[in-house]
Amino acid sequence: MSRIHSGRKGRSGSDRPFPAVPPTWPIPEPAEIVDQAVQLAKGGLSAAQVGTVLRDTYGVPSVRLATGERLTPLLAKQGVRPELPEDLAALLRRVVTLQRHLTEHPKDHSNRRGLALIESRIRRLARYYRDRKLLPETWRYSAAEAVLQVE
């Protein structure tokens, strides 16, 4: 598999080994885990942040192992799905910071190139999410709307 915007092959990232058995220490019941996850998500945390808080604070090593379902679909079932997918929102935040940087430093051509690459990545990801009905068909990327969606 090659990298998106380079001619090089790159290296695959490592994945966390998925545990096959529950941990030996006591963990909360699945219903308690779901309730806590919904509360955290309603508090404004993303799915990754919810999983980290559950791991660090409540001793749940894997929501999937404890409940039998991944965290994002579990939150969507409870009606707490964010309006933008997490990776797309992260790219939009990066674009906004780069746009602000380029207004102060207009001759920074390497960052201008980086901005163009991130914008093309956003368009590609948006097409993927529109095909899978996770974004509305009318959603299009624009630099002005990115600022509004991030703030």
The H-or-E segment that residue 113 falls in is: helix 109-131
Please tell me which residue, 11 or 96, carries the higher pLDDT value: 96
When mean pLDDT is compared across 10-24, 30-44, 136-150, the lowest value belongs to: 10-24
pLDDT digits (tens, 9 = 90+) for 18-35: 777 777 888 899 999 999
Count other C-beta atoms under 10 Å from residue 141's C-beta. 17
pLDDT band at 1 (very low <50, low <70, confident <90, very high): low
Specify the CATH class of 86-150 in words.
Answer: mainly alpha
pTM: 0.80
Domain boundaries, the chain: 30-77, 86-150
- For 50, counting Cβ atoms within 10 Å of its Cβ (0-12 exposed, 13-18 middle, 19+ buried), the class is buried
